[in-house]
Structures are given as C-alpha cells and as structure tokens.
Structure 1
C-alpha cells in the first residue's frame, strides 16, 4: 500500500466525518493530510510527511478551533429569566446556609439560596446574582436602594 493512498484515505475519512458531524472535529486532519500529500509530491520521506501532517494539523487546531467555536455557536438568545439577574428582590422566606428560602422578584416568587451561605431573614432585600437550575442565587443588600422588586 502506497503512502499516497494512506494520505488520500486519511483525507477522505476526515472529510466524511466532518460532513456527518455538526462541530469541527476532523477538518484539521484533512488539511494535515493535504500537506502530507504535497510533501509526498515533492519527494519527502514518509517520516517527514508524518511530521508535516502532525504539525499542520496541530497548528490548524490551535488557530481555528477557538474562532470556529465562537462563530459557529451563533447568537445566544436570552430568555426572560435572564432579566432577573441584577434585580433587587424581597426575601419572603428566610435563607440560611442549610435551607433554601424564597424571594419575590419582578412579581414572581422564586426559591433562593444566598451567595457564600449568608443568612438573610424574611423582609430583607437582596440582589439576584445568578440562576442555578430552578432557583436564584442572591446576595444581601442595604435597604436604602429603591430599585423595584
């Protein structure tokens, strides 16, 4: 079996795998195989062809993968839930390190835990830091702030 056949086979398989999958997973190996085929055309030894294949594939992965992931991911559509992050809320059930409490934010009741397991008693105000699953992570704030809950 000739080395040209092997590089062509690597190229064809990587293109087929790339066509089947939705993420970039093998195109770099196809580009590396093209570089090795060019090296074979110029009479380089099989060892040098393998080194060329490896180096070109690694360079392609390092350069293109982060860019491709960024642009292929597309625009992330935020849901209405994301609106509550950064809002202030009223604690309706005391939040302790061991138990979830409840907060009212933008007219809706949510289960909540505090950031750093802080104790926040009912009637105090907090700020929504993030959403984790089906509950909010909140941080106690001073009551002097008059943003809506």
Structure 2
C-alpha cells in the first residue's frame, strides 16, 4: 500500500509544478515515483525514502540544469536590417555601381548596388543581400546552374 502513497505524492507534486514552473517540484515528483517503484518491490520504508531522496537529488543536480538551459535559450532574434542579410531576390533592372537599381526584399523596395563595384548585374539575375548601409542593399549575384 506504500506505493500508492508515493504515487499520490508524485501526482500532487506534478500538479503543483504546473503552477510553479520551476521544474523543482517535477524533479521531486520523479523521486516520489522512484519511491513508488521501490515500494512495489520492498516493504522497507527507509529504503523507499532513501531511493526517493537520491533520485530527486540526482534529478535536481543533473536533469534540471540542462532542461532550464534549453528552456531559457532560443534562436537568436534577428531584428531590423540584420534579418535581411542573406536574403535572396531577383533584380528587375540592371544594377551597377554607377547605375543603382531597386530590389524587393521581404516585400519592401530597397535601393541596390553591387557589393563589388566592378560588377554589373543584369536584369533578372538572382542576388543575395550581403550588407545594408542606410537604405541601400549591397548585393552579389548568385551562381547560376546551367
């Protein structure tokens, strides 16, 4: 019957974890469930408590830090013009250092010039945005597969 008490304690800790969201009570619930498994195998309350305590401390020391690390880090947020770098688009007009043109990036029109001043990019060419300076996109043609 001890295993039922351990399962009940573990279930209560899981429900309480839903309100705290610290992952501490979840690790303690893991210890309680380990105590329930031990209680199903033995009738010694001391052994059950020791197993529950050891498993809970192990989970707190090993599993919780890595889970928190994964939850608190995410992909780098790209804002402003940084998110446009690396975008691919097509030039509707011929672009050179002496003939700036316009391209559409993410639905917005941008002035565009080649990143390399010696290049001439023909109309209809696929380009990649290398840099944004002010309101001008510096682009480079993408290699064509023939």
- The structure that has the greater radius of gyration is 2
TM bracket, shorter-chain basis: 0.3 to 0.5
